[in-house]
Every structure is written in C-alpha cells, then in structure tokens.
Structure 1
Amino acid sequence: MAKQEPPNIIFIMADDHAAKSISCYGAGINHTPNLDRLANEGMLFNHCYVTNSICTPSRAAVLCGTHNHVNGVMTLDSKINKRLPNVAKQLKSSPQNYQTAMIGKWHLGEGEDHNPTGFDHWSIVPGQGEYWDPEFYGPNGTERVPGYATDIITDKSIDWIEKRDKDRPFFLMCHHKAPHRSWEYDDKHKDLYKDPVRLPDTFTDDYKNRANAAKVAKMRVAEDLTYNDLGIVQPEGPASRLGTKMVDIWWWTDRKLPAPEDVTQLKFRCKQTGEEFTFSTPQELAEFKFQRYMQRYLRTIQSIDDNVGRLLDHLDANGLAENTIVMYTSDQGFFLGEHGWFDKRFMYEESFQMPFVMRFPREIKPKTVCNDIICNVDFAPTFLDFANVQIPSYMQGLSFRALTQEKTPQDWPQVAYHRYWMHRDIIHEAYAHYGVRDQRYKLIYWYNEDFGIEGTRPGGEEKEWELFDCQEDPLELFNCYHEPKYADIVKEMTKKLEDRMYEIGDEPVHTRL
C-alpha cells in the first residue's frame, strides 16, 4: 500500500464564539451553513472545554499543549516567552518538514521576546486588533489594511496557501478577531437578526443557592454593557466612508449605559442615529440591551461563517480538501445572556465549553458526534498525531485522534480541569477559582486569592465550594455541595480534582482530603 502524504492542517480559531451561536449545536438563534458544513462532513464535539476561560492563557495552552502554570501565561496581561517549545516548532523541525503560518489575532505579547516563533510566516494584529482597517505587523514591519478584519484575515490566509511550497505539507493557524467585544459588524449584515432572540431561561437569575462569585461579577447585560458595546457612540465602518473616529479613547467608549451612578435612568439618546429611547421599567431596558447585544454579536459571526465558506471553497477549487484537516473552535465559550451575563471567565458551562468541529475526509466519517471530554490543551498533541510527528514529552495534553475515529480508549480521562488565575480584575470582578468536570458533575473551588498577580485586588473573601449535578440541573442554578445525598459525590469529585492537579503539577490551595 502506498504511503499516505502528511495532511495539511488548518486551525481556525475565533475569539469569544459561543457554541450556541453555531447552528449545528441546535440552539436555533442563528444560521451558520459553512460551520455546519464542517460538522456535516466531519465531527462535532459536544464536550470540548477550555483550561482557563480567558483569551491569552487559552491561546498559550493551544499553542504549547501545556497548562498555564507550566507555560507561564496565566492572565490576560501575561506574555509568552518566545523560547518555549510549541507545536509549530515541532511541525517545522519534523522529518515531514511542515511549512507554518500564523495569521490574525496572536494576543500573546508583542516585541522581540514575545512575537510568534516556529512560523515561517506570520502577520498578526497588535493586541485585540480592530474590526475596520486593522493594522498588521510581521517580521518586515507594519501595514494598515483597508477593509473588514474577518475578510482581511481570510484573504491573507488564502494568499499564503496559494504562495506556499506545493511540495510540502502546511500548518496554518487562522485566528479571527471576531466576535470579540465590541461586535462591530460588516455593513452587508446590518439587516440580519432583526427578529427578537428568545431570552435565556436564566436571564433574570438572582444567584441564590450559589457561590458569592456569581452575585458580585460585573458582567451583566442589564448593568455592565457600555455605550460602545451597543453601538450608540458613533458610526462604525471603514475610514474611507466615515473618516477618523470621533471618539477613540477607552474611558469614553467604556462608559456604561446607564451610567453606574444612575442605574434607574430609563431614557437616553443614541449618539449614532439620533434616536431617542424611553423605557417604562428596568427590565424593559435590560431586554433592549440584550436584543441589541445579540444582533451585533450574531452579525459579526455571520462574517466568520462567510469566510469559513470562502476558505473551504478555496480548498475544493485547488484539490486540497481530501488531504486537509480543517478545525474550527473559539478560544473559550461566551455568555449570551445566560445568568444575565455577557463575557466569559467562569467555569460555568456557557463560558467553559468551547465549540469544536473538524473535518478530515480521509479519516473522519461525515455527521459523526463525539461526546467524550476533550480540552484545548489536547489540540497540539492531536495536530502532531495526525501529522505522524512524535509528540514531545513536555506536552501535557493527549491526542484525541482515536476519538475522531469513534474508538474511545478505555482509559480516556473523562475529566476536564479549569483554573482561572486572575482575581477580581477591576472591570469584571471575577473571582479566581479552579475545578473539574466529568460527564455528570462539576466541582468548583472559589479561592479568591491573587498570588500577587498584577492588576488584581486583594483577596480575603470567604472560600467557597460549588458542586453541580449537570444531569439534574443543566442550568447550574443549585449548588448541591452541602446536600447530604451528594456527600459521596463531593468526595469522589474532590479526589478527581486533586488527582488531576497532581498529574499536571498544579498547586492546590484548598485543604486536601
């Protein structure tokens, strides 16, 4: 039998894309035919989880295949050390001689010591990047590219594929800015999703029977969205049509609506359109914000879907589809009004779960579904496994290639570990915590200490445990940690937590069993 060529690998990652806003996941709030195509022609994963639900640490885990206490990227302000080993370096230096590229959002630090390494080509946006006319920089300097970021990142990706060495396999990381806050959509999608989106069942969550962390978090649609989030500061679009921004300073665009000092304000004027809005109750105002938030969010995703389609069409047109693995995910999940929240950070399911779909016609059957637990730290070893490149001993994740062939190993660890290191950052007030989830239960320990991490507030609040029965309580409304009938489950899940922390070398701060 002839030896098969190493597959090309395209890894597409969005920023803050909730699984519920991909139509193949079945929530019914939008339509994403091209992302659905990946699932229909390959596999959909229902239990893919992030090891730290914040952008920068998640990207480090994906790139390195290690947990954040090992790669040193624990918070949003952390920067990766360019000397760390990573999956691109492994592929590039392997006998298979992969050519590698990183295009789009990097968000792991800037400057000589933190720029991408292991990539033959890289063109990345500084920091969060911009939706319109974004700046890119690479080894040869910076450029500002007119147009919409999602289109441009795809253009750059296709251009690199076209210009690559056709005699060698390639590995491309295509990282989109969208649908990150502040959800600036392309004009061509401005008429989409005008029908109201159904409010989540937990939109008016009162946070009873839960840890204090849920109550104090400042991520509420009703209170913490800003004028800029809702697109009522100024017109949005390219400079060629609008000129320079009227306002481009964070302390203005981050102003909340209504202002925190006047949360009863029920009338305001839209600076962008001149419209006047008046509401009879705070709930009516909150629901207005939710609908406007969802419109903007879903419209940015429509551009993501369009551009995934463009990339798939390019593979088809050039005879590359059969031997190319295409994966789509997000750097973590996102709250779409569940528990009244937007944003991420927490180990609660909407934030914890990453969407993940992948297609590889040579190995993965169409329309297959995986219900085994995988984590983002598993991505790098999986890339290497599919490329038939040796997985280095430093990687802490596991290849899930066997899962894609519906051959779950008997010893597959059906446990996901999460640790959020930032403690009560000034904007979101999200407590530090860690925990584990198996196929039914989720255990969280809110330890509320910052360990001297910059940009955080002092700890000292009461330490709290939460246990959720995800089968009986899928909305995670009832902490059953102290219920007598769950006493044995508490012991079992605590042991799973401590075993997992021991395996990966993370240091617990709770009193062990």
Structure 2
Amino acid sequence: MQAVRSLFFSLFLALSFTITARAQEKPNIVVILSDDHAYQAISAYNNALMQTPNIDRIARDGVLFKKAYVTNSICGPSRAVLLTGKYSHKNGYKDNANSHFDAGQDSFAKKLQAAGYQTAWIGKYHLGKELQGFDYWQILPGQGHYFNPDFLYMDGSRKRVEGYVSDVIEDAAEDWLDSRDQEKPFCLVIGHKATHRTWMPDTADLGKFDEVITIPPRNFYDSYDNREAAMVQDMTISKTMRLDYDLKMYPEDSKDGNIVRMNPAQRAAYKAYYQPIRKALEEAGLSGRALTNWKYQRYMRDYLSTAVSLDRNIGRTIDYLEEHGLWENTLVIYMSDQGFFLGEHGWFDKRFMYEESFRTPLLMHYPGVIEPGSISEDFVMNLDIAPTLLDAAGLPVPASMQGRSLLPLLQGKEKGREAMYYHYYENGEHAVSPHFGIRTERYKLIRFYKRVNSWELYDLEKDPREMDNLYGRKGYEKRTASLKKQLASLIKEYEDKEALLIFNRPVRDQPGN
C-alpha cells in the first residue's frame, strides 16, 4: 500500500509539474503604462533632467526604442490603440471629448484570455467603466486623483483607498499577482496616473529638485512664425499654466478638490512645503519673462518630483517579478500613453505631431528573445503593442489589427517602417487644431484642418526643433509632392476616409477659409 501511495504521489507531482511547465511555455506579460511621461525625463534617453534607475533597468536588461511614436497623442485614444491594435478611426475612440469606447470589439486582452491567460487591468484606464477581456480590474474613475484615490471595481462598487496613487496602484497590482492562479500565464496592465497634470508629488518627494535649475529649451520663447496652428494654441507656460491649479500656489484655506481629499498629514506636508514658496512669490512681485521663468522652474520641479514616485514603483514591480522567480519568463513593456512638452515651444501638454508629443518612451524586456542592452532605431508605434503581445503568446494576429509585431523586427527578420502616419482629432481643450501627417526618417509633413487650415513641412535633419516651416518655399516642390504621395498612400492603407476627403480638398476650399 505504501508503494502504491508513493507511486500515486510521484505521479501527482509529475502531473502538477507538467501542467505548470505547459502554462509557463507561454511568457507572462506585464505592460506598465504611464501618463504624459516625456522621454526627455528618462535617464536612459537623456541624463540632463533626472535619473530614473528603475526604468533604466528595463533598458539594461532589454531594448530601448529610440524612435517609438503614437498614432494620436492624447490619453484615452492612445489606450484604445494599445488595446485594439487599430488606429482611432477604426477603433472608434478619436478624442476624449466626444468618443465612446466600444469594449465589445476585439483586443489583445480578449485573445489572451481565450488562450488561457489570466488577465487584469489595474490603475488608470480612461476608456469608460466597461471592460471586457479582463478577469480582474480595478480602475481609477476618469483621470483619478493623486491622493487617496477612488477606484471602480468589477462588482460595481466605488471605494476610496488611503495613500499616494502610484503606491496604491502598485500595491493593488502586487495583491492581484499574489492571488492569481499560479498555473496560468498572466497578462497584467498597470496603468499609472503619473505624470499627468497637475503633477502632485508624493509628500516624501517634495523638494527633491529644489536645488536644480533647469535650463529652458532653446525654443522656449518660440514666436511661432509661419506656423499658424502653433500660434493659436492655448497651452503655454507663460499664459495658460495656472499658479494655483498647476503650481499649487493655493491660499491656506483652499477648497480645491485635490487638497480637500488629503488627510491631515498629507495636507500639512503640502502646506509646509508650498506656502513659503507662495509667500516668496508674492513678495517678489514678478511679471513678464521673470514670472514665466519662475513658473517653468516650478513646473519642472513638480513634474520631475512626480516622476520619482513613478520610477520607484516601477522598481517595485521589477523587484516583485525577480523575487518571485518570474522575471526570466515575463515580457515587460514600459511606455507612456504619449510624449509631453517640457517647455519646448514654451509649452506643456501634448496633442501636436511635433516630436516631443508624437514620440513616446518605449522599453521592453524579454529574456531569450531580446538581447540585453539592445537599442532600436527603427520606427515603431503604440499600434504595434497588441500584435507583439499576441505574437509572444504564440497566437495569430487578427487581420483587423493594423500594427505589426515587434518581435521579428528585434530578431532581424523584418525591416522597420519607412514612414509613420498620425491623426489627431480633438478640437477643444488647448485650442490645438486637428491634423494628420507623415514622418519619414528626415521629413515631416502635416495637414491642419478645422480650427486652422494649413500645411507644414519640416526638414528634421536641419531643423530638429521644428521651427522653420518649409511648406510652399521655393526649392521644396518636388519633396513636397513626394511626401504628399507617400501620405496619401498611408491614408489609403489605413483606410482613413475622413483624412482622405480633407487631403483631396485644397486648403482654400476648406470650411472657415
């Protein structure tokens, strides 16, 4: 009998090992998605502003994409593209103001779930309250808050969780990882709120950059000559950025929602830090460029301090994977939902097809597939994330997905894009005119419409800061015609019917002209 029991136990262990091994033939997946995190503020890309040692760990152990871009530089639409692998005109979520995300459409989450993956989205989602394809979700309502954030749960409840949002999201992610089915591969999306406006640092990080003077970008005082869309925008540090809402220069009795929701200790820390700064500002009586420069320094100190907690919690994610023996079998992606202006052109925010907004950080760790310390100079897009995850899981990529897996590119089996297509739709906040365009290795051609009807052309080799609009200038006729032909080809390839109608109509015939 003892021999039978021993044999049964041995068979049981062997079977358990086989089930676990089969599950782990497929890699686990962790996608860390931040908000408005500029590549300029990541030390793997640029050592000038701050150090991000934990994000840099992903680059050290994997690949750093130096030319990663988005299809539509705004929060909700970018997430819709990530999920579906389709451009905004195909997934239906074009802007934050008027769009509704159809959660019933296909997504990488649904495909992975159907293939046996346990799936979860925790943190910022920003595509409504209906999630499909996830076994578990815990999301911020809308933008969420930095302190003591509310969360929406699968059972329909809404609960407030004490703490700082980056910590709370990471805590929830680790709780889910602890409770998951250990015999299934998993796909976890961690959606961070940081570094979204209004850039509220954790109390532990207040003052981290107070001794740092950030040199403004060379085009900080851009006059927007020959660039009408840039001229009519409303996103400048000098005029748009608010002393109270953005820079926390609140009166002591402020009833602002971001402050009121703080607990006494959090509020006391903020008061102790910001009130002396506010008093010094009032005494200085600054105006004109002196005030603008002061606002820029405060913006950068708050933004970078907020990024510190983001990087710290990304480090916690990596530590968890290492400590639980998951790091070597997990595909880890870090990216932002788009880029962000850190004073370039005198701006904050995003939206434009100019580089600082259009381009996004993207780093990927995938042991056995990606050589540690790799650098990619190929054009890649957030459109490519969904196909990449399915490819890594050994699943077919649906024909409806317009992106392409990055794995063959990283393995040297395919060549990268020759050009990228972009389309921004929102015609509201910050007065940024809708536009679409193409970027090649050297040139960028943009067609603005609705608010402003115009074309812009840039030679990025000679003019990387995009200050000199060459459209219509003598000597660029052939280049312009070639780029227009290439743009029309991409519009047709991606089946953007609205853009094609605008493209085929002369600027002078557009509404408003």
TM superposition score normalised by structure 1: 0.87
> Deviations along 1:295-334, whole A, 9 cap, x unmatched?
1101111001000111101111111000001111111100
Choose which of 419, 425, 431 in structure 2 pairs with 1:421.
425
Q: After the TM superposition, which of the residue ranges 193-202 and 226-235 deviates more from structure 2?
A: 226-235
**Correspondence for 1:83:** 104
Aligned to 1:467: 457
Structure 1 residue 242: Cα displacement: 5.4
**Aligned with residue 487 of structure 2, among 491, 497, 500:** 497
- Is the 2:110–2:133 Cα contact (8 Å) retained in structure 1? yes
CA drift at 1:366: 1.3
Amino acid at match of 1:87: F
Question: 1:21 aligns to what?
Answer: 41
Going from structure 1 to structure 2, the CA distance change for 1:201 and 1:279 (only over 3 Å counts) comes to farther
Instruction: State the match for 1:125 in structure 2.
Output: 140
Provide, for residues 218-257 of structure 1, a one-character-per-residue CA deviation record: whole Å limited to 9, x for no partner: 0000110112100111577763325899xxxxxxxxxxxx
Look up the equivalent residue of 1:294 and give its one-letter code: M
Q: Give the corresponding residue for 1:232.
A: 249
Give, in angstroms, the shift of residue 75 of structure 1: 0.8
Q: 1:38 is matched by which residue type in structure 2?
A: I
CA distance in 2, matches of 1:393, 1:220: 42
- Per-residue CA deviation, residues 45-80 of structure 1 (Å, 9 max, x unaligned), is 111111111111111000011111111100113221
Map of 1:100 onto structure 2: 119
Please name the residue that 1:253 is paired with: none
Percent of paired sites with the same residue = 41
Aligned to 1:435: 437
Partner residue of 1:146 out of 145, 162, 180: 162
Which residue matches 1:257? Answer: none
Q: SS of the counterpart of 1:471?
A: coil
- 1:377-456 equivalences in 2 (<5 Å): 377-405=383-411, 407=412, 409-410=414-415, 412-423=416-427, 425=428, 427-448=429-450
Report if aligned partners of 1:124, 1:136 keep a CA contact under 8 Å in 2: yes
Per-residue CA distance 1:455-486 (angstroms, 9 max, x = gap):
xxxx5x4x211111111110101011222332
Asked if the contact 1:441–1:470 (Cα under 8 Å) also holds between the matched residues in 2, the reply is yes
* Residues in 2 aligned to 1:161 and 1:470: alpha-carbon distance in whole angstroms: 44
SS in 2 for 1:467: strand
CA distance in 2, matches of 1:179, 1:497: 33
- Among residues 496, 503, 506, which one is paired with 1:510 in the alignment? 503
- Alignment map for 1:134-283 (pairs within 5 Å): 134-140=149-155, 141-194=157-210, 195-210=212-227, 212-226=228-242, 227-233=244-250, 239-241=262-264, 274-275=279-280, 276-279=282-285, 281-283=287-289
Match of 2:10? none
Paired residue for 1:340? 346
Q: Unaligned stretches of 5+ in structure 2?
A: 1-20, 253-257, 269-273, 507-513
Partner of 2:31: 11
Post-superposition shift, 1:82? Answer: 2.0
Contact 2:209 2:305 in 1 (8 A): yes
Shift of 1:280: 5.0
Q: 1:100 to 1:156 in 2, by over 3 A?
A: same
SS at match of 2:137: strand
Is the Cα contact below 8 Å between 2:139 and 2:151 reproduced in 1?
A: yes
Residues 273 and 199 (structure 1 numbering): CA distance in 2 closer, same or farther, change over 3 Å? Answer: closer
How far the C-alpha of 1:145 sits from its partner, in A, is 0.3
* 1:417 CA drift (Å): 1.0
Report the more deviating stretch, 18-27 or 117-126.
Answer: 18-27
Instruction: Kindly provide the amino acid, as one letter, of the partner of residue 441 in structure 2.
Output: Q
Does 1:56 pair with 2:76? Answer: yes
- Return the letter of the residue paired with 1:180: H
Q: Distance in 1 between matches of 2:283 and 2:332?
A: 45
Larger helix share, 1 or 2? 2
Which amino acid in 2 is paired with 1:178? A
SS of residue matched to 1:466: strand
Q: Are the counterparts in 1 of residues 83 and 386 from structure 2 also a CA contact under 8 Å?
A: yes
Q: After TM superposition, give the deviation of residue 416 of structure 1 in Å.
A: 1.4
Which residue does the alignment assign to 2:56?
36
Deviation at 1:348, TM superposition (A): 0.5
- How far residue 367 of structure 1 moved from its aligned partner, in angstroms, is 1.1
| 8 Å contact kept, 1:382–1:398 | yes
Amino acid at match of 1:239: M
- Distance in 2 between residues matched to 1:280 and 1:38, nearest whole Å: 43
Q: Pairwise CA RMSD of aligned residues?
A: 2.0
> TM-score scaled by structure 2?
0.87
Compute the displacement of 1:281 (Å). 4.5
In structure 1, list runs of 5 or more residues that go unmatched: 246-268, 449-458
